[in-house]
Amino acid sequence: MSNKKETRPELNAEQVQELRQRRRKARRKRAGVVIDRIFGFLMATVIVVGLACLGLEYVLVKGPSPALRDTFVMTMLETRRFGFIPRIFLTQQEVEEIRALKSVHQNVDFDPTLIQIASENEGEENPAQPLDGQSTGSPYGLVDEDGDGLILEEVHGRGFSGYMLIVLDPSRVFIANGGGGLTIETMVQNNGAIAGINAGAFYDPNGQGSGGKPEGLTIYDGVVASYGYGCDPIAGFDENHILHVGYHTLEQAVNSGIVSCVSFGPPLIINGNPADPAELVSGVNPRTAIGQRADGAILMLVIDGRQGASMGANYTDCMEMMLQYGAVNASNMDGGSSTVMYLNGQVINSPSSATGGSRWLPNAFLVR
């Protein structure tokens, strides 16, 4: 046996180049196989998840629980971007029948005498707001600790969280005109205000509206900005700072002495009477609502949604929260990605808009 080491023949430049090319091709082939496997796995996962979601949707819309079906359908319809989802397994007629359940017209005569706003001559320590001063004797269990006339409360419910802002003096609350569409920060700054929430409806195709065109009956300081569609759900103030809610035509609003209002709904509480939960069919989404207590204090509610920490609320959740804080009258307002609360220089809730901040809005309820 020979002990001589076997030597490789010397390769010329052309052979070296060819060898390098073969190695590069082999590496690309191996990388291609890995990419194909990863892509195949991802595609299979997407297909499995998609089929699972379709199966879940089928159970929701065709299952034994009409209440669960209605909640799911309304949640999708209210998000706009996913409004097509219920129509995968439901006909247009079935969708419209579910949608119609929330369009309950309430023929209720609004009674402004149920709101008794304290006059400036009542009380010595807090004349305009005797019920929630720095005394612990408030019948609502709230204390204005810093004496600024505002009380901010965190609120929590079944799968949601948000904020309730109580404005003790209703004369401080007004409706600001966003003109061609402004963020709530800009409206607060332009009007010398300190707080506010979003208010009424606006033209919003595919969730991309500029906030420049209010919809429904809209009045700013006695000037009609939008006529609405006949009899609209509204929330607005008369000259005595009483919040009116309910369904109004323009003529009815004028006859009621309403000087400023925006349109949205449905009404949650009228004359101390809560709406029938069976008539408040809605999905689970971010919500905004406004109400008024018997002493005149204004209640501003925002509930975050479409987030892990807060999925959102339905109309009944908002109504129950308003009742908990003593509302005599209350109405649901524009929600979804429009829901926002601004206080003392910052947005304090977590809006669900694409930017994570305030959208352009047509108007807002502001606090001086």
Rounded to two decimals, the pTM is 0.75
- The 10 Å CB-count burial string (b at 16+, else e) for 269-291 is bbeeebbeeeebbbbbbbbbbbb
Non-local CB neighbours of 286 within 8 Å, separated by 6+ positions:
302, 303, 304, 305, 306, 312, 335, 336, 337, 339, 351, 352
Non-local CB neighbours of 221 within 8 Å, separated by 6+ positions:
259, 260
pLDDT at site 130: 47
pLDDT at site 337: 92
With tokens 């309403």, the residue in question is 258
CA-based nearest residue to 219, from 208, 210, 232 = 232
Both tokens of 257, joined, read: 């002495």
pLDDT at site 254: 94
Non-local CB neighbours of 358 within 8 Å, separated by 6+ positions:
183, 184, 185, 198, 340, 342, 347, 351
Contact 266, 99 (CB under 8 A): no
What are the DSSP E strand ranges found in 185-285?
Answer: 195-198, 217-220, 223-227, 232-238, 243-248, 258-263, 267-270, 273-274
pLDDT at site 13: 74
pLDDT at site 353: 83
Handedness of CA 117, 122, 128, 129 (dihedral sign): negative
Q: How far apart are CA 129 and CA 149, in angstroms?
A: 8
Q: For strand 160-167 and strand 232-238, is the pairing parallel, antiparallel, or unpaired?
A: unpaired
- Residue 78: what residue type? E
Contact 225, 219 (CB under 8 A): yes
Residue pLDDT, tens place only, 54-98: 666 656 556 665 655 665 666 666 665 666 676 676 677 776 666
CA-based nearest residue to 104, from 278, 303, 291, 329 = 278
Using a pLDDT cut of 70, give the percent of the chain over it.
73
pLDDT at site 221: 96
pLDDT at site 257: 97
Q: How far apart are CA 365 and CA 243, in angstroms?
A: 12
- Those residues of the chain that have pLDDT short of 50 are 103-105, 120-130, 135-136
pLDDT at site 332: 97
Both tokens of 110, joined, read: 């609004």
Residue pLDDT, tens place only, 22-57: 777 777 777 777 777 776 667 667 676 666 666 666
DSSP reduced 3-state for 55: helix
With tokens 């060898």, the residue in question is 19
pLDDT at site 127: 39
DSSP reduced 3-state for 122: coil
Length of the chain as a residue count: 368
CA-based nearest residue to 359, from 164, 228, 187 = 187
